């Protein structure tokens, strides 16, 4: 059997737990493609979508003489599964080298290396060049580990955190396209869950980084700079995104989700929609927007996309005061309602996502959200909004500076995050509401939105 340099394994949730985040982080595709382009062999296995008995991981590692196993601990809810898998593999194949990566691993790199001996390395931030250099270093007996960018490693003197000096740029991401899909070993490449699909939609990540800094978001500007060394947003060019959509369409995948937009301007999406029209491509798109869509963007959405497509606007609170204090992109409720009316006239399906439990929220603000949800129901007849609560994200502004936001954290360390259970275990309370009260408020809003 052909030797394999680098094996990425996505574990999903810890055994026996509901996988609250079923999507494999898209970075795995980019890293595998980058390594292959640099003559390093790579493969990806997604365990949640594997058939029964499809993969004998210890057998593969031994037979293909895998030099490095990489496990994503990206979202905090996946960190427990990643550590458990690392321990299982180290027990089964004691000499195997294991690296963790992703946001959560980046934030808690030192803690992971000190407390989890099964993990040999943590790659903080982007992993394309660091993994290439790490594999090169392992080939020479690990002598140059200190020069691998973004690497955290355990040496005789303890844990060393190398500088986070690498972040993939727009040209790198654009050039890699969807090449990484070829390296996924799962036989079912288009399952509903577990690879890059959520609710049957392919999650296409068009960018890395964000220009904003919302209070509860662990992927915002400052978090990315602190944890990953990223300065600025890297975007795939609209032309390359359209090429990738055509490739997905040729594979029979026509439903695509574009997650949270990293730039406040609509220009990128408008350029993308114009190109889609020019190429006569009409995928079913679900576009998530952190800001308010302009009238121009809504018109292009109406023109370029079919009736099945939709946008989701993440509004945060229904109280303008709370939105201003917590979200990077502010708009008024009048602006939001005007955009929804225009979307409705243009035949663009629009959904607004609200949350409760944001810092500084009072009962009056919570009632303002309920009133706005009711108003939307009255005006648009059908439900136009959904409600969610967020659990504390490592690296988010409120995690790093709880006093500034007037919140009390119940989780500070990796160990605390590993102990969380269920979607209502949020890990913080605000000046006005306990966790239990936030959940009660959420359930009230959910009923109001139905
Ligand atoms: S919620 Fe959106 S705009 Fe805000 S920091 Fe996160 S990705 Fe950026």
| Total count of domains within the chain | 2
Ligand 1 pocket residues where CB is under 6 Å: 210, 212-214, 217, 219-220, 260, 290, 328
| Whether residue 205 sits in one domain with residue 128 | no
Phi, psi of 123 (to 5 degrees): -100, 120
Q: Decide if 410 contacts 416 (C-beta within 8 A).
A: yes
Distances (CA, A) of 334 to 241, 313, 338, 372: 33, 14, 6, 10
Q: Residue 99 maps to which CATH number?
A: 3.40.50.280
| Whether residue 326 sits in one domain with residue 237 | yes
| Whether residue 154 sits in one domain with residue 209 | no
183 within domain boundaries? no
| Whether residue 45 sits in one domain with residue 140 | yes
| Whether residue 80 sits in one domain with residue 212 | no
DSSP string of 91-136, one letter each residue: HHSTT--EEEESHHHHHTHHHHHHH-TT--EEE-S--HHHHHHHHH
pLDDT at position 189: 60
Give the helix, strand, coil percentages of the chain, each rounded to 5: 40, 15, 40
194 within domain boundaries? no
Span from the CA of 174 to the centroid of ligand 1 (angstroms): 22
| Whether residue 260 sits in one domain with residue 150 | no
DSSP string of 373-434, one letter each residue: HHHHHHHHSS--EEEE-----TTSHHHH-HHHHT-EES--SHHHHHT--STT---EE-SS--
Span from the CA of 290 to the centroid of ligand 1 (angstroms): 6
| Whether residue 217 sits in one domain with residue 138 | no
Q: Which of 115, 137, 161 is the last residue of a domain?
A: 161
Q: Which of 111, 137, 161 is the last residue of a domain?
A: 161
Span from the CA of 261 to the centroid of ligand 1 (angstroms): 8
178 within domain boundaries? no
Structure tokens at 305: 């996309």
Q: Residue 264 maps to which CATH number?
A: 3.80.30.20
| Whether residue 224 sits in one domain with residue 141 | no
Structure tokens at 207: 């960018």
Q: What angle do CA 424, 429, 430 make, to 5 degrees?
A: 130
Span from the CA of 160 to the centroid of ligand 1 (angstroms): 30
Most distant pair of Cα atoms in the chain: their distance = 68
182 within domain boundaries? no
91 within domain boundaries? yes
57 within domain boundaries? yes
Q: Whose CA is nearest to atom 2 of ligand 1?
A: 290
Query: In sequence order, what are the beta bridge partners of 8?
Result: 44, 70
H helical segments located in 4-56: 27-37
168 within domain boundaries? no
231 within domain boundaries? yes
pLDDT at position 187: 67
Contacts of 394 (CB under 8 A, 6+ apart): 76, 103, 104, 107, 108, 218, 417
pLDDT at position 236: 95
* Choice from 220, 289, 393 to test ligand 1 binding pocket (greatest atom count within 8 A of CB): 220
Q: Which of 161, 191, 212 is the last residue of a domain?
A: 161
| Whether residue 303 sits in one domain with residue 214 | yes
Span from the CA of 393 to the centroid of ligand 1 (angstroms): 12
| Whether residue 147 sits in one domain with residue 248 | no
| Whether residue 248 sits in one domain with residue 145 | no
3-class SS of residue 285: strand
pLDDT at position 20: 57
**Low-confidence residues in the chain, pLDDT < 50:** 15-16
Structure tokens at 85: 């898998």
Residue numbers of the domain that contains 309: 199-449
Nearest to 222 by CA among 418, 411, 397: 397
pLDDT at position 21: 59
* Choice from 206, 213, 217 to test ligand 1 binding pocket (greatest atom count within 8 A of CB): 217
The number of the ligand 1 atom at minimal distance from the alpha carbon of 221 is 5
Span from the CA of 309 to the centroid of ligand 1 (angstroms): 22
Cα 359 to chain centroid distance, Å, stands at 22
pLDDT at position 23: 80
pLDDT in tens, 163-205: 999 999 999 999 999 999 999 998 666 555 567 777 778 899 9
| Whether residue 126 sits in one domain with residue 49 | yes
């Amino acid at each position: 059997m052909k030797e394999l340099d680098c094996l990425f394994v996505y574990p999903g949730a810890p055994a026996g737990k509901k996988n609250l985040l079923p999507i494999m982080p898209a970075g795995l595709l980019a890293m595998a493609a980058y390594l292959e382009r640099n003559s390093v062999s790579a493969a990806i296995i997604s365990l949640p979508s594997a058939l029964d008995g499809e993969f004998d991981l210890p057998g593969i590692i031994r037979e293909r003489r895998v030099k490095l196993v990489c496990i994503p601990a990206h979202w905090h809810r996946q960190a427990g599964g990643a550590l458990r898998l690392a321990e299982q593999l180290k027990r089964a194949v004691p000499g195997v080298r294991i690296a963790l990566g992703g946001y959560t691993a980046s934030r808690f790199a030192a803690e992971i290396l000190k407390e989890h001996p099964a993990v040999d390395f943590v790659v903080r931030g982007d992993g394309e060049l660091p993994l290439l250099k790490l594999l090169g270093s392992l080939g020479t007996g690990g002598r140059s580990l200190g020069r691998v960018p973004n690497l955290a490693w355990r040496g005789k003197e303890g844990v060393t955190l190398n500088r986070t000096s690498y972040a993939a740029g727009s040209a790198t991401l654009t050039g890699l396209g969807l090449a990484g899909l070829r390296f996924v070993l799962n036989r079912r490449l288009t399952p509903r869950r577990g690879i890059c699909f959520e609710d049957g939609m392919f999650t296409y990540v068009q960018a890395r980084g964000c220009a904003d800094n919302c209070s509860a978001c662990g992927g915002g500007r400052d978090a990315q700079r602190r944890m990953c060394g990223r300065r600025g947003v890297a975007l795939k060019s609209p032309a390359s995104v359209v090429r990738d959509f055509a490739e997905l369409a040729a594979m029979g995948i026509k439903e695509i989700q574009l997650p949270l937009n990293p730039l406040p301007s609509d220009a990128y999406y408008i350029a993308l929609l114009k190109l889609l029209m020019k190429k006569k491509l009409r995928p079913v798109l679900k576009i998530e927007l952190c800001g308010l869509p302009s009238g121009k963007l809504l018109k292009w959405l109406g023109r370029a996309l079919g009736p099945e497509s939709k946008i989701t606007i993440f509004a945060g609170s229904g109280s303008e005061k709370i939105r201003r204090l917590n979200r990077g992109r502010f708009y008024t409720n009048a602006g939001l309602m005007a955009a929804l009316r225009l979307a409705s006239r243009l035949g663009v399906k629009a959904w607004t996502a609200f949350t409760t439990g944001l810092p500084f929220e009072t009962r009056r603000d919570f009632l303002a959200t309920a009133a706005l949800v009711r108003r939307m129901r009255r005006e648009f007849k059908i439900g136009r909004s959904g409600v969610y609560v967020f659990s504390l994200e490592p690296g988010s502004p409120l995690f790093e500076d709880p006093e500034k936001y007037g919140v009390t954290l119940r989780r500070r360390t990796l160990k605390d995050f590993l102990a969380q259970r269920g979607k209502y275990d949020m890990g913080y309370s605000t000046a006005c509401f306990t966790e239990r009260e936030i959940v009660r408020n959420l359930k009230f809003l959910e009923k109001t939105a139905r």
